[in-house]
Amino acid sequence: MNYISLTGLSKHVLKELSAARVRTVEIRSPNNFFALLAAQPGDRIFLTDSSAPDIVPGTVGLIAVIRALQTITHRTVQSSQDYYEEREAQAARVQLQLMAVGRVRRITNFEPGTPLTLDVDEVRYCDAR
């Protein structure tokens, strides 16, 4: 099945999602942020700790369903007598619910400016190798 992928997540986050089954994550990396813009609540996505260029057939990760998705803006203001600086950054908060463990079969889309899409097989305990 084809899934949009979030890559480079910390092992700590993946371990917490495996243990708690539901986890809210704030995504700030540009590639993952734009991938989430293409997703909606109810969609299934593939999560891995591997970076996008390192994903190959056989890469293992988690398959999760998006329960809630929200785009937020962080605003930072710094000033003194000599200057005034204001910065904004976009982030996405996504609540995920674990569905299964998955293994990449093949990469279906790795074009710049589009979400990384992978063909992923669910791994059941009897399929483990």
Predicted pLDDT at 112: 85
State the residue for tokens 């700590």: 12
Q: Is residue 23 predicted with pLDDT exceeding 80?
A: yes
What are the boundaries of each domain within the chain?
2-127
- For 63-102, what is each residue's pLDDT tens digit? 999 999 999 998 999 988 888 999 999 999 999 999 999 9
User: What stretch of H or E contains 12?
Assistant: helix 11-20
Tokens of 55: 């994903």
Predicted pLDDT at 129: 57
Predicted pLDDT at 126: 62
CATH class of 2-127: mainly beta
